[in-house]
Structure 1
Amino acid sequence: MADIESARATFDRFDVNGDGFITADEYSAAMRAMGDAHVTPAVADSVVASKDANGDKLLSFDEFWASLNK
């Protein structure tokens, strides 16, 4: 099980605009900032979609947390 405080800090690093959701664009930008230039828009869309339980194309903290605890 993941540590919720560490998970929140990671989520916040990805949620660039602070609206409480991670978009595919934010995911891609955060990965590039961490040195992974290979996360294309298609890859980012796929990663977000794989964790997006309600299908809104956004990753909420609850969805992020749930994906860490599978």
Structure 2
Amino acid sequence: MADIEEARKAFARLDVNGDGEVTATEYKQVMAQLGDFHVTETVAQAIIRAKDANGDGKLSFEEFWASLDK
């Protein structure tokens, strides 16, 4: 069960510029910081696209929360 406060913390870490949305570039950057250098821009785009409910190419907290296995 996902905890919304933990999810907010995780989302905030992914939202590098703090604009309330996570882009593929931000996702790739954070994964590299965490040591996962296998996440290319293409992979990051696919991950974001899979969770992006409104199709804007970015992940909002609501989309992030909805994608978690609660």
Specify if TM > 0.5: yes
Identity over aligned pairs, percent: 61
User: Superposed, which structure 2 residues align to 1:1-70 within 5 Å?
Assistant: 1-69=1-69
* TM-score, with length taken from structure 1: 0.97
Instruction: Please list the CA deviations of residues 32-55 of structure 1 after superposition, one character each: whole Å capped at 9, or x if unmatched.
Output: 000000100000000000000000
Q: CA RMSD in A?
A: 0.9
Unpaired segments ≥5 residues, structure 1: none
Aligned counterparts of 1:53 and 1:12: Cα–Cα separation in 2: 19
Unpaired segments ≥5 residues, structure 2: none
Q: How many residues align?
A: 70
Give the ranges of 4+ consecutive aligned residues of structure 1 lying more than 3 Å apart after TM superposition: none
